[in-house]
């Protein structure tokens, strides 16, 4: 059932431990959140999982295959959409397919199929500069999905958006996820966002970065907007705040 | 309504002001030579210059053909060389460190100084002209491309790496298109350098070309023809630069969209 496992990951830069013995797992179709303050080493952990960085200790496994230090296995999306300004949206999202060796024409055809599902219809021939921030993030997510439909790492994907757009993006995101069932590990420092979107939350604290708590969000999906103003939601939030406060006190 | 009229008027004035300035200079020039304040053999009037140009039109076109041919060949080779050197310097830090000072030094040597050497080495044919153009034109291209490569979004490059892209793929999909704007800025300069380079090389010997024509009319003290060919050369340079801009617009369609947006935003602000 497990899809992605990172075991006993330790990373240090210049003798300073950035993350200390972290183990996390991600099951198929799950949305799991890494919640923590800035500087807790969340992004470093992502760099390890994506293979951009080789850890001092520990292994990363995807479907029982060891992928430690191997790039190109899990997909990655950042706060910046990183759409290339000189390519149309269609060419931007089909880029991962082309990198994998697919012919341009076929890559475009394959990518086009998903535009409706991702709410991107009509943007195929536009350039990123012609789209709003929310639409650009949608395109970035589609590109991430086309790169790998197994596991996606999202590093603060919605944090650059304004609150209203962010709310809409959350609804859109959950809706798309219902359909594509992409196993996702995402980073955020927004507690509400974490509770709203995740099945499971790892609370990460620094320094060095480690996992201090794991919280299951049992609210069934699909979740509607009412969830974020419900009593259960507040309970989750209290629980998380308590953990963070305790950590800050130490 | 009234305000809009003023704005429109300002717009028109903005647009025609360069034309006005040029006409003023021409009128002043014409009166100076017509009244005889400056002897006609030294400073022919603009009308004389136009007449000289029309009289020698076919001859000028033949010479222009040679010059343009040299410029085209030299520029193509210069661009190719500039591109290869830029890629090499971008790829290997050691190449960058080794070549950069050499590049700068080649630019401090004046064109006019090396041209005679080239003629001595390579004769009166087309070779020294092309060599000179390559030397002068590849520098702006190399520097432009290098800056362009360096300007590529580092995060985007990392993302591509995380997607498993090879160095070549990252070059084709990110570095090369990122550098296009810089490349064209360099090419605009190189295009005008190439004409100047060709003419300078032709001064020192050759069988045809605008530089050869220039030397001949100078020796016969035909000031009107001298002026005609000078204006003709700057005209050609301007046209070439325009051509580069057109090419840029075709090859960089995304810039057009960006510009449109910016213009409409500016319009709204008003």
DSSP labels, A90-129? HHHHHHHHHHTT--HHHHHHHHHTTTTTTT-TT-TT--GG
Closest to B163 (Cβ–Cβ): which among A87, A126, A147? Answer: A147
Determine whether the interchain pair B163/A72 forms a contact, defined as Cβ–Cβ distance below 8 Å.
Answer: yes
**Domains observed in chain A:** 2-74+151-249 (3.40.50.300), 81-147 (no CATH)
Q: Would you say the pTM of this structure is higher than 0.90?
A: no
Which residue of chain B has the CA closest to A75?
B163
Chain A: closest CA distance from residue B166 (Å): 8
Q: What is the CATH number of the domain that holds B70?
A: 1.10.3720.10
Contacts of A73 in chain B (CB under 8 A): 164
Residue B36 lies in a domain: no
Which of B158, B163, B257 has its CB closest to that of A96? Answer: B163
DSSP, residue by residue, chain B: -HHHHHHHHHHHHHHHHHHHHHHHHHHHHHHHHHTTSS-TTTS--HHHHHHHHHHTHHHHHHHHHHHHHHHHHHHHHHHHHHHHHHHHHHH-HHHHHHHHHHHHHHHHS-HHHHHHHHHHHH-SSSHHHHHHHHHHHHHHHHHHHHHHHHTS-HHHHHHHHHTT--HHHHIIIIIHHHHHHHHHHHHHHHHHHHHHHHHHHHHTS-SSSHHHHHHHHHHTT-HHHHHHHHHHHHHHHHHHHHHHHHHHHHH-HHHHHHHHHHHHHHHHH-
Q: Which residue range(s) make up the domain with B82?
A: 51-260
How confident is the prediction along chain A (250 residues), in pLDDT tens digits per residue?
568 888 888 888 888 888 888 898 898 888 999 998 877 788 888 889 888 888 888 889 888 888 888 887 888 888 888 899 999 999 999 999 998 888 999 999 999 988 888 888 888 889 998 888 888 988 998 998 898 888 889 988 888 888 888 888 888 888 888 888 888 999 998 888 888 889 999 998 877 888 888 888 887 877 777 888 888 888 888 988 888 888 776 6
Q: Does A72 touch chain B (CB under 8 A)?
A: yes
Residue B3 lies in a domain: no
Distance (Å) of CA A154 to CA A46, A133, A137? 9, 16, 11
**What is the reported pLDDT for B264?**
67
Q: Look at A50 and B174 and tell me if their CB atoms are within 8 Å.
A: no
Backbone angles phi, psi at A30, to 5 degrees: -90, 150
Q: State whether residue B159 sits within 8 Å of chain A by CB.
A: yes
Instruction: Please give the pLDDT value at position B1.
Output: 67
- Given this model, what pLDDT does residue B105 score? 85
The ipTM (two decimal places) reads: 0.78
Interchain CB distance below 8 Å, A127 and B180: no
In a domain, B35, yes or no: no
Pairing outcome for strands A16-27 and A2-13: antiparallel
A86 contacts B163? CB cut-off 8 A: no
Residue B237 confidence (pLDDT): 92
Q: Does A78 touch chain B (CB under 8 A)?
A: yes
Is B158's CB within 8 Å of A129's CB? no
Query: What pLDDT is recorded for position B216?
Result: 92
> Best mutation site among B157, B159, B165 for testing chain A: the one with the most A CBs within 10 Å?
B159
Number of domains in chain B: 1
Asked whether residue B108 is assigned to any structural domain, the reply reads yes
B176 part of contact set with chain A, CB < 8 Å: no
Examine residue B27 and state whether it is found in any structural domain, yes or no: no
Cβ pair A82:B169 closer than 8 A = no
- Kindly give, in sequence order, each residue whose CB lies less than 8 Å from that of residue A11, ignoring residues fewer than 6 positions away: A17, A18, A19, A41, A44, A45, A48, A53, A55, A56
From chain A, pick out residues whose CB is under 8 angstroms from the CB of B162: 50-52, 71-72, 75-76
DSSP for A188-246, please give it.
ES-HHHHHHH-SEEEEEETTTBEEEEEEE----SS--GGGGGSHHHHHHHHHHHHHHHH
pLDDT < 50 stretches in chain B: 269-270
Residue of B nearest to A69 (CA): B162
Query: Within a domain: residue B40?
Result: no
How many angstroms separate the CA of residue B29 from the nearest CA in chain A? 48
Please report the number of interchain residue pairs, chain A to chain B, with beta-carbon separation below 8 angstroms: 63
Asked whether residue B21 is domain-assigned, the answer is: no
Shortest distance, CA B267 to any CA of chain A (angstroms): 17
Measured between CA atoms, how close is A98 to chain B, in angstroms? 9
DSSP A173: H
- What's the confidence (pLDDT) of residue B213? 93
Q: Do A86 and B257 touch (CB under 8 A)?
A: no
Q: Is residue B119 in a domain?
A: yes
Peptide bond before residue A222 is cis, with ω within 30 degrees of 0: yes
* A99/B169 touch (CB, cutoff 8 Å), yes or no: yes
Contact A52 B158 (CB under 8 A): yes
């Amino acid at each position: 059932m497990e899809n992605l496992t990172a075991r006993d990951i330790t990373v240090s830069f210049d003798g300073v431990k950035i993350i200390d013995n972290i183990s996390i797992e991600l099951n198929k179709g799950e949305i799991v959140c890494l919640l923590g303050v800035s500087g807790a080493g969340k992004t470093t952990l992502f760099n390890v999982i994506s293979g951009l960085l080789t850890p001092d200790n520990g292994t990363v496994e995807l479907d029982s295959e060891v992928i430690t230090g191997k790039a190109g296995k899990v997909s990655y999306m950042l706060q910046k959409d990183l759409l290339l300004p000189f390519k149309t949206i269609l060419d931007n999202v089909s880029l991962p397919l082309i990198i994998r060796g697919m012919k341009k024409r076929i890559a475009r055809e394959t990518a086009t199929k998903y535009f409706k599902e991702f709410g991107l219809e009509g943007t195929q021939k536009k350039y990123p500069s012609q789209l709003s921030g929310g639409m650009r993030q949608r395109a970035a997510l589609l590109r991430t999905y086309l790169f790998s439909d197994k596991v996606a790492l999202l590093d603060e994907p919605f944090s650059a958006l304004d609150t209203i757009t962010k709310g809409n993006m959350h609804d859109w995101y959950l809706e798309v996820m219902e359909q594509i069932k992409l196993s996702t590990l995402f980073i955020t420092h927004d507690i509400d966002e974490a509770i709203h979107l995740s099945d499971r939350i790892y609370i990460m604290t620094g320094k060095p970065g480690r996992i201090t708590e794991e919280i299951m969000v049992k609210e069934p999906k699909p979740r509607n907007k009412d969830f974020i103003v419900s009593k259960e939601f507040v309970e989750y939030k209290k629980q998380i705040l308590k953990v963070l406060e305790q950590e800050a006190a130490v | 309504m009234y305000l809009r009229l003023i704005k429109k008027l300002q717009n028109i004035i903005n647009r025609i002001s360069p034309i006005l300035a040029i006409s003023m200079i021409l009128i002043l020039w014409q009166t100076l030579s017509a009244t005889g304040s400056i002897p006609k053999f030294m400073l022919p009037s603009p009308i004389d210059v136009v007449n000289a140009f029309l009289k020698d039109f076919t001859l000028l076109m033949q010479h222009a053909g040679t010059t343009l041919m040299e410029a085209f060949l030299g520029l193509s080779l210069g661009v190719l060389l500039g591109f290869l050197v830029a890629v090499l310097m971008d790829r290997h830090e050691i190449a960058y460190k080794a070549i950069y000072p050499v590049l700068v030094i080649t630019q401090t040597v004046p064109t006019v100084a090396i041209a005679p050497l080239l003629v001595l080495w390579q004769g009166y044919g087309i070779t020294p002209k092309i060599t000179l153009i390559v030397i002068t034109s590849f520098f702006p291209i190399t520097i432009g491309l290098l800056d362009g490569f360096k300007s590529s979004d580092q995060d985007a490059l990392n993302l591509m790496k995380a997607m498993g892209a090879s160095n070549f793929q990252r070059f084709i999909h990110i570095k090369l298109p990122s550098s296009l704007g810089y490349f064209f800025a360099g090419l605009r300069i190189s295009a005008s350098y190439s004409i100047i380079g060709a003419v300078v090389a032709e001064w020192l010997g050759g069988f045809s070309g605008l530089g050869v024509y220039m030397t001949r009319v100078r020796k016969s003290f035909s000031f009107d023809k001298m002026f005609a060919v000078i204006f003709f050369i700057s005209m050609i340079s301007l046209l070439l630069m325009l051509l580069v801009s057109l090419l840029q617009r075709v090859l960089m369609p995304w810039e057009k969209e960006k510009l449109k947006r910016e213009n409409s935003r500016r319009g709204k602000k008003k």
